[in-house]
Structure 1
Amino acid sequence: MSETAIEFTDVEKRYGDVRAVDAISFSIRKGELVTFLGPSGCGKTTSLRLIAGLELPTAGTVRIAGENVSTRAASERNVGMVFQSYALFPHMNVIDNVAYGPTIRGGAKKAAIERGREILTLLGLDGLEKRLPSELSGGQQQRVAVARAIVQQPDVLLFDEPLSNVDAKLRRRVREEIRDLQRRFNLTAVYVTHDQEEALAVSDRIVVMSQGKIAQIGTPQELYDRPSSRFVADFIGDANLIEGAVSQNAFTVEGLSLPLPQPAPDGPATISVRPERIALEKGDGVSKIRTATYLGSRYEYIVDTPFGTVLVSAPISLAPLDRGDTVKLGIAPGGFTVVEHA
């Protein structure tokens, strides 16, 4: 049996002359949580809708559980979806909301309710079966929406910006709940968000999209530590993009020479350095602190250097630096990656 749950092969979606999704190919393994991430208009939500069957591809093939579903409507696909608004029926209580899907598809209502109660108990919602959605907290409503999707035993569970309606203080807890549920039920899940931290926190892999194309696919650590382009480096977290040149397997720029972790061709190049990978030492350096900001868990510095301005993040355990201090700047081996060759 194939371990591939979802497969796109050269999938396009056009609206007139606009290519919302431009010939993308990827696969998602069973039991994997993959996030589509990118700026507004990049094609991530359209890709999710192509999996759901809410949109049909203009070209290419969509397979779910090994079957070609490219021309099948949403009702003909075994896919569950958790919407931004949760889309719970306000006039139905919790258990009727959860049992609605299997019942409307012709299943026995008694069996659907029994299965629904089991899932509600697993989600910590037992005792709330008779409440209306308006009597639940936002987090509880989300879990009901997840329960309603899981009860149908879908091949794939889709999350469309699921935390957009959750208070900022609750997002960490709710995203942890989503991840725990996905692992507990061994669900194949596809998640859409524009929030980089959220994507890094919940995903096995991330598909970064730009202008309808896939910019890079990888684990959170791969995308953060080894972005393949300026766009990915700049979009995932904070990055210092430093322009210089590669010569004899070293990157050089005024006042700085860094041995490359992997061989690269000579010539002009750009590296990406994360703010926390830069070390500052107070002394007779050629760089100067422009601004120093205390952020509780870390210090953040804007530093003027011979090769431009950089952002530096330093742990709170280090002695603070002040605006105007002269510093030496260092980058740890392996603390950077080449993202562009001229």
Structure 2
Amino acid sequence: MSETAIEFIDVVKRYGGATAVDRISFSIAKGELVTFLGPSGCGKTTSLRLIAGLELPSEGQVRIAGRDVSRDPASERNVGMVFQSYALFPHMSVLDNVAYGPTIRGVAKAEARDRARAILDQVGLGGFEGRLPSELSGGQQQRVAVARAIVQQPDVLLFDEPLSNVDAKLRRKVRAEIRDLQQRFGLTAVYVTHDQEEALAVSDRIVVMKMGQIAQIGTPAELYERPASAFVADFIGDANLIEGQVVGGLFSAAHLALPVDAEDGRITATIRPERIQLALGGAARIVSASYLGSRMEYVVKDEGLEFLVSRPISEPRLAAGDTVALQLDPTDLILVR
């Protein structure tokens, strides 16, 4: 059984009359990278701050490495944090930035600098020790911030929207570097983002939050392929949501009638845009066509229903105004109530 690194037990956080985190419970295994994902105001950043000790719970218990830290301030928790702004000291060299934490904790200056050099080598910044943060790229500053957190050998490493200040073209590279470092050092990491693609790319598991509560916890594949609700289906990637009902094993909505394995009643069927195929000559009409490099995206109206459809660029290209037939495989429907 994996060792538990972080545990929330019925945690509540209130600010006056507002509840930011509403009785949530979960655990994170040692060496796991878990992402809190959700829209603005869902409680993801508050949850991160509760782990860091920057906020204390109104109710419930926060445990780190088996110890109840619910009332402990940040200074008494062995937690490293990488902030949105990196929070590097602009007047200090890269080496001194990384050595700062061990130094203020009482490690001799020479030993702290030796530790810092070793970590900088491991994160690919050997030779940059004498530079100032302003002399580094955004991606290099990110690695300095990670090195500064790692050098203190934290029980948990926290990332608060770490790519928000990184140029869009660098995000793929930097997020891959963060994941590589986390796995190489065997770090337990908690990552906060509102970017679904980022969460899917870096996470072992994702905690999807809505209005202070947990909507679903799962691996990226589980959340994308088996969402527990329409909210999760719509938030993790793109999804077509179809309101309908099941009667006698048949899902019906407008003109659709598809066999499903579900009990009778009102239900929402979701289907991913890439799971829908198009054939020329049907009764549906393409109302817009967007070229996105590797794929085409179409908005298709079909007798009162509207679908987002994604097709590979290798297929014959269609245009707005074309009439098509939508081809849906019932096994691709995800049913949620």
Normalization by structure 2: what TM-score? 0.97
Q: 1:303 aligns with which of 300, 303, 307?
A: 300
Alignment partner, residue 323 of structure 2: 326
> For the residues of structure 1 that align with 2:13 and 2:129, how far apart are their CA atoms?
41
> For the residues of structure 2 that align with 1:2 and 1:310, how far apart are their CA atoms?
43
> What's the offset of the Cα at 1:161?
0.4
1:3 aligns with 2:3: yes
> For the residues of structure 1 that align with 2:24 and 2:182, how far apart are their CA atoms?
25
Task: Decide which moves more: 243-252 or 117-126.
Answer: 243-252
> For the residues of structure 2 that align with 1:217 and 1:200, how far apart are their CA atoms?
13
Alignment partner, residue 312 of structure 1: 309
Segments of 5+ residues of structure 1 without an aligned counterpart are none
- What RMSD, in angstroms, separates the aligned Cα atoms of the two structures? 1.3
Matches within 5 A, 1:246-265: 246-260=246-260, 263-265=261-263
Segments of 5+ residues of structure 2 without an aligned counterpart are none
Matches within 5 A, 1:125-144: 125-144=125-144
> What's the offset of the Cα at 1:307?
4.3
The answer to whether the 8 A contact 1:159-1:189 is kept is: yes
The answer to whether the 8 A contact 1:78-1:155 is kept is: yes
Residue type matched to 1:214 in 2? I
Identity of aligned residues (%): 72
> What's the offset of the Cα at 1:132?
1.1
Residue type matched to 2:65 in 1? A
1:242 aligns with 2:242: yes
Residue type matched to 2:273 in 1? P
Task: Decide which moves more: 313-322 or 147-156.
Answer: 313-322
The answer to whether the 8 A contact 2:270-2:334 is kept is: yes
> What's the offset of the Cα at 1:251?
1.9
Task: Decide which moves more: 168-177 or 219-228.
Answer: 219-228
The answer to whether the 8 A contact 2:238-2:273 is kept is: yes
> What's the offset of the Cα at 1:327?
1.4
SS of the equivalent of 1:334 reads helix
1:161 aligns with 2:161: yes
SS of the equivalent of 1:264 reads coil
What are the superposed Cα offsets for residues 9-38 of structure 1, whole Å, 9 maximum, x if unpaired? 000000011001000000011111100011
Residue type matched to 1:313 in 2? S
Q: 2:277 aligns with which of 276, 279, 284?
A: 279
What are the superposed Cα offsets for residues 87-134 of structure 1, whole Å, 9 maximum, x if unpaired? 111111111111111111112222221111111001110011111111
Matches within 5 A, 1:96-175: 96-175=96-175
The answer to whether the 8 A contact 2:254-2:305 is kept is: no
> For the residues of structure 1 that align with 2:137 and 2:319, how far apart are their CA atoms?
45
> What's the offset of the Cα at 1:220?
0.9
Task: Decide which moves more: 184-193 or 287-296.
Answer: 287-296
Number of matched residues? 337
The answer to whether the 8 A contact 1:84-1:161 is kept is: yes
> What's the offset of the Cα at 1:250?
3.3
> For the residues of structure 1 that align with 2:118 and 2:329, how far apart are their CA atoms?
51
Residue type matched to 1:226 in 2? R
> What's the offset of the Cα at 1:333?
4.2
> What's the offset of the Cα at 1:324?
2.0
Runs of 4+ aligned structure 1 residues displaced above 6 Å come to none
> For the residues of structure 2 that align with 1:246 and 1:170, how far apart are their CA atoms?
46
> What's the offset of the Cα at 1:257?
2.8
Task: Decide which moves more: 58-67 or 288-297.
Answer: 288-297
> For the residues of structure 2 that align with 1:145 and 1:265, how far apart are their CA atoms?
52
